[in-house]
Structure 1
Amino acid sequence: MQDEILERLKKKVSGLPLAPGVYMMKDKTGHIIYVGKAKALKNRVSSYFRAIENHHPKVYQMVQNVYDFDYIVVDSEYEALVLECSLIKQHAPKYNILLKDDKGYHYIKVEKKPWGRISEVKQFLNDGDEYIGPYVSGFIVKQMVDETNKAFKLPTCSRRFPAEIGKGRPCLNRHIDLCIAPCTGRVSEAEYGEILAQAVDFIKGGSENSLKSLRKMMEEAAEALDFERAARLRDRIKAIEKISEHQKVVLSKVPEQDVIALSQLGRTVCAVVLKFRGSKLIDKKDFLLGEVESIDSARSEFLMRYYDTGGDIPPQIELDAPCEDQDLFEEYLTEKAGRRVHIHVPQRGEQHDLVLMAKENASQRLSHETARTGREIAALDELARLLGLPHPPHYIEAYDISNIGESTIVGGMVVFEEGRPLKQAYRKFAIKEQQGPDDYAAMTEVITRRLSRYREGDPHFSVLPDLILLDGGKGHVSTILPVVRAMGFDIPVFGMVKDDRHRTRAIAVDGGEISINSNRSAFSLVTAIQDEVHRFSIRYSRQKHQSGGFQLMLTRCEGIGQTRAVALLKHFKTVKAIRAATVEELCEVKGMTRTAAENLHAFLQEN
């Protein structure tokens, strides 16, 4: 941002009132690029033009494009909220969260040819096939197609019939009894056509009507002594009943409600809305929100954008966490809906389970956009919530001190990026200043050296962690946290506490502990981190102890003193490599003579 523009904007900010209102950031062309509300206009707008380099990347980019701003003073925070929504809808600023209206029609396609398939499509084609629909919800269409194919064991593979009947082995679906496998040649074209017709009846008439029809057909087959056909119909009935039981899982006691949850990976956030109407889950919508400043601000902004762009407002909205200005939002949505609307954050029971279901769906959507699994994303989300972090930790560093006696004291650092070990970033620390076993002093040395390396521009320590975890309790945290703060770094520091059996039990904070046993995903992640840093530091400690003993042994050889012993270990890296070296290779070590090399080679062969 040019200095003259910044100074002009700061001067303009100084004239703003300490009153509620709405501000509009504009670019050089006069277009509005961001709209926000404020309880106190002067305080909020001035924050954009102070310490610009410390802003979140998205905010920094927006501020770089600000040429001017305008504002409107209102009488209350509620009026500011209503006006903000109206202006965003009117101008669609590029730096506000904008939700695209993805409403489109979906169809179930039934191929009207021998060996036809049932599939989900988004376009009606005049190709002679049967199209059932249209449906507004793609979620419902996909769910219906999947359940129908499973219940009637219709093929979903890429094989084409009758051309590929009898060619090649049947796929896995046949072996796990999910397909009638026309490819084997054991199903006639007429029988396949009958099953397909029954599947279409199931889609059109629902499970109850389909079950009545199939039971009648089964009884008729049994009376005609066609027991093989009766058995196939019986299996089909069981499959439909199983599908129906599965559908009951997504019923809710609250007839009309939306369940909303957000998940975050790095700076990208996904929001999922589960819509329950008539106690049934009728739709699922997911939205990728891109880079956001924090998941809490994203939750508030999403809530307003979603219901302000045409989403029907139910009497109850369940959230995965409290949102900013929740009371104002309730008031606004109540007025918009013309009836009372409650926003609630469930802590236990069925409603909490539904929120977890929505959060898992959000994590799964993010996993499709990245190389990460939904479980990894959920674990980072859960850990951030437990520790009160503004966003899930993208880059976690964990530290452990290991010692064998008083002579071998080392520190290990492991890194987990997006919930996975990043082994090329692991680092080893040989304790130099501390003499004798003092874990607190050794940990202080390790952390100080690590952060100093970052400040010096060392490329091996070029990334600052979002979270530091120490293998130890609150004593470690109360020792290391002041060290980190004194060096000018605002990095969260927590400890990993083990029980008497050396298993992860809790997370230590400055002055207490947070139990994590009941949080499965976070517990598994922290356990994996603690086990990994312990393994890494123990291994280094043993290697160093072994090399120290070997170094002492080398000095027993004639012509090998402390300096040459250190040079040998530095040159060959491992004990095994020194033992395997030839006289010529030993001569290549700095400071070695031919005589010393021959003596050492003979000494190693004898010992």
Structure 2
Amino acid sequence: MDMLSPSYLPAEHHQLPDLPGVYRYYNKEGKLIYVGKAKNLKKRVGSYFNKNSGINQKTRRMVREIQTIEITIVNSEFDALLLENNLIKKAQPRYNVLLKDDKTYPYLVLTNEHFPRIYPTRRVIPSRGTYFGPFASVKAMNNVLDLILSLFTIRTCKLDLSPEKIAADKFKVCLEYHLGNCKGPCEGHQDEKSYRYDIEQAKNILKGNLGVAKSYFKENMQAAAASLDYEQAHLFKEKLDLLEKYQAKSLVINPNTDSLDVFAIVSDEKFAFVNYLRIKNGAITLSKTVELKKRLDESDQDLLLTAVVHLRDQFQSDAKEVLVNKDCEDLPEGMVFTVPKIGDKRKLVELSLKNALYYKKEKALLAGENKNKKNRVLLQLQQDLSLRELPKHIECFDNSNIQGSHPVASMVCFMDGKPAKKEYRHYHIKTVTGPNDFASMEEVVQRRYKRILEEGTSLPNLIVIDGGKGQLSSAVAALRDLDLYGKIPIIGIAKRLEEIYFPGDQYPVFIDKKSESLRLIQRIRDEAHRFAITFHRNLRSKGALGSQLTHIEGIGESTAQKLLKHFKSFKNIESASRESLVELVGKDKAEKIFSAIHP
């Protein structure tokens, strides 16, 4: 909380001054929840606490949270608007309009050094040089940079080309010199004065003053032709043509048109979308659309004003004229918006509106895709396997054993196409001796669904068995014993060819190898395999540690497991004191263990 600002309680709102300024609302935790601007602080803040004002439900909820009010008095409503924008951008209060745009933008920097360089960056360090931008996209920035490097011989190396180092022959020319892209200032082949001529013209292009750069090439072309240097004149003509071609491609209206900022807004119940076009010398030099999330049912005019201030500040616009698609009444003094009715300016507003509408449409499509993606895959799986119900609940079983040691199984569960890890289960194989995958599969499937029937919990819509026809038949036998076969669809996925089998079918089900439904089954199978292998590996590790203890005479499996559970590793048991061993397993066993480990 800013202790230097005047502070008031909600009941003291009538004490606020009749002056323009910014007000800030804080909750009981001292957190800033809303920032607003006002032509008259007393009237504006008072309107929130007037029960007859007809404010909406969201605003009432905010008002109930207000514990403290702070204000800052400014000279004009326009100053209040700028301060409000900066405070919202810095604090992002809960009830203010949320501008969804947190990306960093690229700039082109012209460095402060001997033989200046021009290169792209996203970090603005003012002492390093002059920054041009930000550009709304990397592509737009690269187009300008490529044009500059095509027109002028500007170095791209990072050498410190101070006069002393050049005079001392510290450097050698690189490939760029031999390609004609650089005139070799590093070896003194170009002086700094002539180099800076190119830099000044490049600066004009970065500022959008293409007319100055065109005049430069035209004058040089005519001068070269007058001195009968036709080769040089042709070179300047090519660069002039390149510049004119670039300008013609960017031109949308008369090149003599002053700088313009164009904004258009479209909105729905929850969001607004504002497009910004920056026009310079008749060309679009920037296009950007932002999304604003409504918090207190703000009007389009308020949202547009917020976006205009934010975007003009972010992209450092100095355009005198601002074109919009909606009338904004009661604008702060110093701001003028125009809603053009005819001509080129009207077409620019329509173009900006078209961009905003396109962004809104794309967002709606994307939201619909994300919402339906989950069901789309499950619907496809239901169709591919001819299932009666949508497979929202899928369970998959896998066995794991190596030469019969520690035979285990796993069951993984997917809900709505996503892993439900709390429902995963591990199984120690109890009734099978040796590496018998078929009998092991029958045991775990029977155990799983016998328990579900006893507990009355929900059965899956689909069972997947990791294995071929043998494992599938074993799982079916378990379901028959429980009178569940035919009530739950069950399939097997064979490892070798990734084929799907139904019980009793000679041939696999045809599913497109690239289909999302097959990928979902494979993902579930891979997860079951991973879960089983992890469990098996842990058991083998514990078994190996246990064997180091059970070979000691008088120490059995239960004592070994007790020690490992307490000390976590054999290394910790080795470093344990005799007293701690006695406390855990008794004096007799402790002596045997200690003597064996420390002979």
Q: TM-score, normalised by structure 2?
A: 0.42
Q: TM-score, normalised by structure 1?
A: 0.42
